Structure 1
Amino acid sequence: MNRVIDRTGFAEIPATCAESALQRAFDRHDLALAPAALAAIFDPEGVISWKATGEPRRDGRPVTRGSVFRIASMTKSFLAAAALELRDRGEFDLDRPIDAYVPGVRFDFAGEAVPVTVRQLLTNRSGLPEDNAWADRLLGADPGAIDALGAAGLRLTAEPDDRYQYSNLGMSYVGRAIEAVTGHAVEDEITERLLEPLGLAHTRFEPAAYSADRTLAAGFRTFDGGRSFLDEPYVGAGALSCIGGLFSTVDDVARWAAFLQSAFSDAPLHPEVLSARSRREMQRISTAIPLDAEPSAEPQLPKLQAIGYGMGLVVEQDRRFGRIVQHAGGLPGFSSHMRWHVPSGCGVVAFGNSDVFGAGGLATRALAEVLEAVDAPSEHLPPWPETLDAGKRIDDAVRTGEPLDGLAGLFSANVMHDLPAAVREQRLVHARSDAGPVSLRQQPFEERVLAPRGPAELRWRIACARGSLVCEIRLVGLRGPLVQSLAIECRDVGAAAGGSTI
């Protein structure tokens, strides 16, 4: 595979592949937990395939691709983007204490008042404790009541910057700060700065904003595994709407995800709306989340190396596929989830109109299925030209038997001191002996490059008669990069490489 060198040729995902992935995910999910479910697989161009079951209002009308569901805490990504847009304009300072924008709010830790910044609130490391159950019912709270809570003093369970704790109340103060800066309701700012210029015509804060011909999923709750359902009226709009109030469709969420993901491409979408740099900042871990703190609905999916909170988004580092960005949403009556694979732009959005539906499990499985099916790249990390040149020179030397210490100007001074040339050559002789003679007919160098580890690192394979030699180099980031470490080892002994040998 040549994807290590050039990701631009990543193949489109066939509709049949997306359909199969959705079907497998639906087959393994407990669909009885919600009256209706809707999910879609998308790429940077939009929705590839969608699948739905049930009746969103339990009135005989089926779910359609355009059905509207409440997306709850997925709203936080829009709030974060609005805050960063103001920051980029020089109108908002993320590192100022929040009380500089929202006077009167006080935070106490261990009996003392401590400052808490906008950034700490936005990245869930303010020290405020998790408050989901409490906040879910206060979405429509009066701003004055929330102000009174802040003035009375909010108790922290950790010192600011110490650890991850998900706080809806804390992030709602970011919304209040935006209102202080702009003089307008934060919901209006999100609509005017993001929803309208991006063409997200079906993403709104109020049910009344939709036309009569648009189906809005009603909310429901079940306490007996889906054998019966109770109506759950929409939680109202108020002081906490900015952290969970939005409604949307699968197509609008796919467009939003494409806008955010494109920040990692050579042609970011709509840079006039929000800079690519700020979008990348949203999708970069700011606060580490312990791996056991947020288990996925299905623990075997995904297999993570790391997880953390960015800004309004959760960032996962999958062992196989690299960076995946996601956020869940849950309110009484609704469950939602969006996630996308940064290197390929492939993603999934899932909705269910019951808070116990577990949309995250459905979306996680669907994305894993489609990424596996298309052998998606793990990361877009093209090596420096100097890294490739160094690899090619070392590759030629190893294949022809040229002494490595004769490669002038390639290595930093430490390389031949860390492992003397005579010792290195002796080890290489043993490795060649185990792997067998080097094959004359090698694939082009770029096609022998293995999984990427960064622009200054490179791994590649040299085919031999009984196995292969795997070479790995790491360069130091000087103006003229030099190879600071080199390792060559025998792998896959016993697998015939074929071809003529030297």
Structure 2
Amino acid sequence: MRKRLALTALALATAVTAGVAAPATAARPDPVQQELETLLRSADAPGALASVMDRNGNVRTYTSGAGDRDTHAKMPRDGQVRIGSVTKTFTAVVVLQLVGEGEIGLDDPVEEYLPGLVRGKGIDGHHITVRQLLQHTSGLPDYEDDVTNDILERRYLSPRDALDVALRHEAVFAPGAKGEWGYSSTNYLVAGLIVQKVAGRPLAEQIDKRIIQPIGLRHTYFPAPGETTVRERHPQGYRQDSPGATPRNVTEIDPSASWAGGAMVSTNSDLNRFFSELLKGDGNRLLDEDQRAQMRTTVDMKVDGYNAGLGIISMPLSCRSGDNRVAWGHSGGIPGYGTWAAATDDGRIASVTMTLEPKTGQAMGHLEAAMKAGLCP
């Protein structure tokens, strides 16, 4: 969960169709499977799983390692996982739908929707816009490190409780300051509260009604308050409390503190369906043309070639074939799991998950490399 994109920056510095992975050959080992194996070796992760779809709609699923470190149970194909900050893309889509309906203005101040709520040292909701929340240019401080123990110890935090934690900290920079960008889950905490205020309904319900049901994500959900288990078939998730420590099982947590920025559960194939629909032009069931254009209007993340849109990131792909392109997606981590999911405009989609919280740039870099291997022809 913590500062996924900062880890990405650090990392940069340093089958057959329908559910069966294509067999590797001596001449050309499968690049996704190779990257998964590298990921497990480098990060000491118990397991990893992935789903890749090519531009013709052919799907390959992959597994590596064990689904349970203690029992050595087989890794389930396309099992449910906690997707961490990939949740932010879902939240951003709901906000943009409400923008399209005239209920929210991207350049309106937060104060208009949550009067008197966003206040702190150098923090004033009068001067922060909805766009700045979704693009991480608000300067709001991140609260995630402060709530890790609450998550692990299964303590419920309401969104307002979590916001109180965040507002104990000073602003990182002035909202919209030139050249400034800072990843903070507090932005999405506030965005989720705006959705609830405007819609008059819970955020989880809005995500289900506006995204999950319309595009048929059968294995994706927003956990209910107090829900600590993963509902369907899933690999166990792990965490290292210190470098080199034996990973411990943290599958059952309370993700409430992550809420709009990181609480959801999904599968790799469902994430592929979601990003496929999100990038689609004609017939898009999530966003109209204007809102898609807003989502893909980016600012520099201060990482070479990486740019932040509204709930989505653009990143360069340098494929061995020389067929270079741009991918759009999001990463996510939470105790137990780390995920990268992205798609290209020509219809290639990949989602990869490791069953260990990625706490180093190297681990996140290998996770990203596996995802990119699935996007390259």
Smaller-chain TM-score bracket? 0.7 to 0.9
- Counterpart check, 1:277 vs 2:290: yes
Aligned residue for 2:194?
177
**Which of 106, 109, 113 matches 1:97?**
109
Aligned counterparts of 2:327 and 2:302: Cα–Cα separation in 1: 16
Distance 1:153 1:227, change over 3 A: closer
Q: Deviations 1:281-303 (Å, cap 9, x if unpaired)? A: 32331x21112xxxxxxxxxxxx
- Counterpart check, 1:22 vs 2:23: no
CA contact 1:75–1:243 (8 Å) conserved in 2: yes
**Amino acid in the other structure paired with 1:52:** T
Distance 1:359 1:90, change over 3 A: farther
* Shift in Å, 1:353: 1.6
* Shift in Å, 1:182: 1.0
**Amino acid in the other structure paired with 1:366:** A
**Amino acid in the other structure paired with 2:157:** A
CA contact 1:39–1:50 (8 Å) conserved in 2: yes
* RMSD of Structure 2 on Structure 1 (CA): 3.3
CA contact 2:79–2:235 (8 Å) conserved in 1: yes
* Shift in Å, 1:158: 0.9
Aligned counterparts of 1:138 and 1:254: Cα–Cα separation in 2: 30
CA contact 2:338–2:356 (8 Å) conserved in 1: yes
Percent of matched pairs sharing the same residue: 24
Aligned counterparts of 1:355 and 1:180: Cα–Cα separation in 2: 32
Q: Deviations 1:418-464 (Å, cap 9, x if unpaired)? A: xxxxxxxxxxxxxxxxxxxxxxxxxxxxxxxxxxxxxxxxxxxxxxx
**Which of 31, 37, 41 matches 2:52?**
41
Q: How does 1:135-214 map to 2 (within 5 A)?
A: 135-137=147-149, 140-146=156-162, 148=164, 155-162=170-177, 163-206=180-223, 214=232
Q: Scaled by the length of structure 1, what TM-score is found?
A: 0.60
Distance 1:364 1:278, change over 3 A: same
Q: Scaled by the length of structure 2, what TM-score is found?
A: 0.78
- Counterpart check, 1:69 vs 2:69: no
Aligned counterparts of 1:232 and 1:111: Cα–Cα separation in 2: 34
Q: Which runs of 5+ in 1 are unaligned?
A: 1-11, 292-303, 375-502
**Amino acid in the other structure paired with 1:332:** P
Partner of 1:53: helix, strand, or coil? strand
Aligned counterparts of 1:224 and 1:113: Cα–Cα separation in 2: 37
CA contact 2:239–2:250 (8 Å) conserved in 1: yes
Aligned counterparts of 1:138 and 1:209: Cα–Cα separation in 2: 12
Q: Which runs of 5+ in 2 are unaligned?
A: 1-16
Greater C-alpha radius of gyration: 1
CA contact 1:46–1:255 (8 Å) conserved in 2: no
* Shift in Å, 1:19: 7.5
Aligned counterparts of 1:28 and 1:209: Cα–Cα separation in 2: 31
Q: Structure with the greater relative contact order (CA < 8 A, sep ≥ 6): 1 or 2? A: 2
Q: How many residues are matched?
A: 339
Aligned residue for 1:349?
351
Aligned residue for 2:338?
335
* Shift in Å, 1:22: 1.4
Aligned counterparts of 1:138 and 1:277: Cα–Cα separation in 2: 39
Q: Deviations 1:209-262 (Å, cap 9, x if unpaired)? A: 9997x3133321135767732122543243641110111111101101110121
Aligned counterparts of 1:200 and 1:353: Cα–Cα separation in 2: 21
Q: Deviations 1:178-237 (Å, cap 9, x if unpaired)? A: 10011111111011111011100101122869997x313332113576773212254324
Distance 1:102 1:29, change over 3 A: same
CA contact 2:117–2:125 (8 Å) conserved in 1: no
* Shift in Å, 1:145: 2.2
